[in-house]
Structure 1
């Protein structure tokens, strides 16, 4: 009798729990399903044309950095700006007759110089490429080697009857090489700003390279035959870091290039103002400035870099610019931890990797255990992800990703590109099931325990 009464109470408690679950499902279906209350008109990823997807970059090949450096000549060629050490017995310095000659001075280079110690008095090569020496007309030494300069000095003093051939033994060395002054501006060498960051932001800082992306730079003096892109980068910290774009920009200092850049911007603004007069016309985006030289540092496989010596050679006043990737980010929302996250520079990031970077497991379970009606009670993870991707003329396309298919099929994992917004949602049936499970384990188990 007692056993039958206990079974009846258990069945009655279970019936009450099922009624509560049924009532909760009805309420959820009427008002609580986010798929119904917050609908997103998405297009399945396998139905979108290729132009809506990001270009892969996993297979990009680094450019041979030796292509960014000038090949020095076999012999150093003298030009304006060089400082030579010249010693001419009896002339430089002048010695009265019948007096012993003075020994030539020895010049030791700076510790940063690679030149050996030099002999002679410092004589600078003038802007016109000439060398001014005592008692003779200025000699044109532009483009000559040291041996050719020595022979030209000897011949000049012999031809002017100043020195006899047996006494004409000039010594010519290099005291200081000429330099080229360039400006390097970098947005990847600022200080570390990782203090006070959570785990997700620390991961983001790792991808950024630990930089706050502020610009730094200054004037760099490059020696002759080292006035190239590679030496300018080495002098200012090396190749671009992870938070910089995979390219180097060069802005030439010549007046012609400056006028070209000004004309380009003026023409663009005129076109934009004309387009904005018609509300049905999409305003044009700023195209690539043809006066700015862009040297890529990574290229698709099979593509040969078209880098010439003229491209990498820097002149006085040129600007080398390393641009930041501060706009290459994506955003998260919905059931994902909201935030802004940078995209990796050198490898692809698909939807599952982006969810993991945002602090969400591969099966859609956030660090807070989910959200929506089920809260932390439901055990079914959200299975629908939307990628809100910008298109031309401020348009948008919503790419729908079924996470179950994406986990099992790599072709169902679109790559994330800059500006994307990821929205994670429950499917309606998942939310109903989560609510039912939560109601059962909350109210059903309590009723069973009360009746026992």
Structure 2
């Protein structure tokens, strides 16, 4: 063996020893400090081992409710009730005329610009709350539920029966000057919609007004329903509102029901707090609050009656915000809070993408990792979904990203309140450290020699 060959062999041996020392140091350092699998272990359960109760129900197949179910069908003929203002003209009685004086013509009334009623004639007479109509010289007439033609006949018969008018002179005129209205309160927390170009920032950090807006709307008769209340205040709920409408009745009976319901719930909570091992009860559905869904499963027709969608004075229509329907990210993902879509599903891969992480690509600058500052060549292959359970519990759902990419069934859907933690496995961190060491220390040694 010549001198040149001996020199090359010594250099190669020295480089190999240097690389071996660096790799061994890296393995030792990774084992004790760098590998988050060892230093920050998460006791995860593979997704395929958990029962269905831990997973969200899909909502991609939900379809919008027929909004005509939220509207009342008006009758063919308007039916009189308390609060209506009628135009009444009775020749010789309303107004009173002397025996030989010519009759006065009836006054003409023009409706407001927002009214859909035609011009009317007659003197304004209000229908009382009990459904009666007070006219001169006769007892009040019960006109509740009658049409205009039926009211006209009732007035004519009353004046003939009381011998005030002769049949040939009894020709009353009855029209509608103003329909009865219902004062309804609408409270909305949807803030007028979202900026779809920047959904996360707009939803979470105030791109739109997150405060609730309220309005008192006057709904005419046979338009006092949920749909007209929504149309008067901006339409159906926006993307940042829940897919439902709540109706709170203003009657004293319903208010008492809601008060009793809350008292019973708090009593149960206080009783549960006396036992440290007991699980505090969750707030159940209030039976006195009507919830009208706006999206249902295909083929399901919600059982919505006219009585449920009919609004009375003082009723409250409430559109609730989705402010709490968010998920959180950490680990190798940028930490943040992100909203969940309202009308479609978001699986774990989509949630990672929304958070700014790339599935199947290397990361750099991750926190809690030895190689985070230098970058990595092998992408992270494990993600944990920290999901809350009852009684302040938690389950960690372990997802293998390689399986999730190839099998849609291995992609759990994200639920409100979830925390997504992206991590390297210990083997991936060791390989990344070895690759980084070779391309820094090893190349430098080759060039030096």
Task: From 306, 316, 319, give the equivalent of 1:322.
Answer: 319
The within-5 A match list for 1:202-213 is 202-203=199-200, 205=202, 211-213=208-210
1:411 matched residue in structure 2: 409
CA 90–12 in structure 1, closer or farther in 2 if over 3 Å, else same: same
The within-5 A match list for 1:89-238 is 89-189=91-191, 202-203=199-200, 205=202, 211-238=208-235
Q: Deviations over 1:268-318 (max 9, x none)?
A: 122211111111111111111111111111122233311111111112211
Task: From 283, 288, 297, give the equivalent of 2:285.
Answer: 288
Worse-matched range after superposition: 176-185 or 204-213? 204-213
Worse-matched range after superposition: 268-277 or 378-387? 268-277
Q: With structure 1 as the length reference, what TM-score do the two structures score?
A: 0.91
CA 367–16 in structure 1, closer or farther in 2 if over 3 Å, else same: closer
Aligned residue for 2:447, secondary structure, equals: helix
In 2, distance between residues paired with 1:76 and 1:106? 21
2:63 matched residue in structure 1: 61
Q: Deviations over 1:34-77 (max 9, x none)?
A: 10111111011111111111111111122111111111111100
Offset of residue 238 of structure 1:
1.0
In 2, distance between residues paired with 1:169 and 1:285? 66
Checking the alignment, whether the CA contact within 8 Å between 2:134 and 2:141 is kept in structure 1 is yes
Checking the alignment, whether the CA contact within 8 Å between 1:208 and 1:242 is kept in structure 2 is no
Task: From 238, 260, 263, give the equivalent of 1:263.
Answer: 260
Task: From 337, 340, 351, give the equivalent of 2:337.
Answer: 340
CA 422–364 in structure 1, closer or farther in 2 if over 3 Å, else same: farther
Checking the alignment, whether the CA contact within 8 Å between 2:138 and 2:158 is kept in structure 1 is yes
2:76 matched residue in structure 1: 74
Aligned residue for 1:21, secondary structure, equals: helix
2:46 matched residue in structure 1: 44
In 2, distance between residues paired with 1:267 and 1:206? 35
Aligned residue for 1:240, secondary structure, equals: coil
In 1, distance between residues paired with 2:6 and 2:173? 122
In 2, distance between residues paired with 1:263 and 1:443? 73
Task: From 342, 353, 365, give the equivalent of 1:356.
Answer: 353
CA 341–297 in structure 1, closer or farther in 2 if over 3 Å, else same: same
Task: From 302, 323, 326, give the equivalent of 1:305.
Answer: 302
Offset of residue 114 of structure 1:
1.1
Aligned residue for 2:391, secondary structure, equals: helix
Checking the alignment, whether the CA contact within 8 Å between 2:187 and 2:214 is kept in structure 1 is yes
1:197 matched residue in structure 2: none
In 2, distance between residues paired with 1:396 and 1:201? 31
Checking the alignment, whether the CA contact within 8 Å between 1:186 and 1:217 is kept in structure 2 is yes
In 2, distance between residues paired with 1:5 and 1:150? 123
Worse-matched range after superposition: 9-18 or 38-47? 9-18
In 2, distance between residues paired with 1:33 and 1:208? 35
Q: Deviations over 1:358-395 (max 9, x none)?
A: 11112265585787222243211111100111111111
1:88 matched residue in structure 2: 90
Worse-matched range after superposition: 52-61 or 365-374? 365-374
CA 219–388 in structure 1, closer or farther in 2 if over 3 Å, else same: same
Unaligned runs of 5+ in 1: 195-199
Checking the alignment, whether the CA contact within 8 Å between 2:258 and 2:286 is kept in structure 1 is yes
Q: Deviations over 1:393-422 (max 9, x none)?
A: 111111000111100110110011111111
Checking the alignment, whether the CA contact within 8 Å between 1:153 and 1:170 is kept in structure 2 is yes
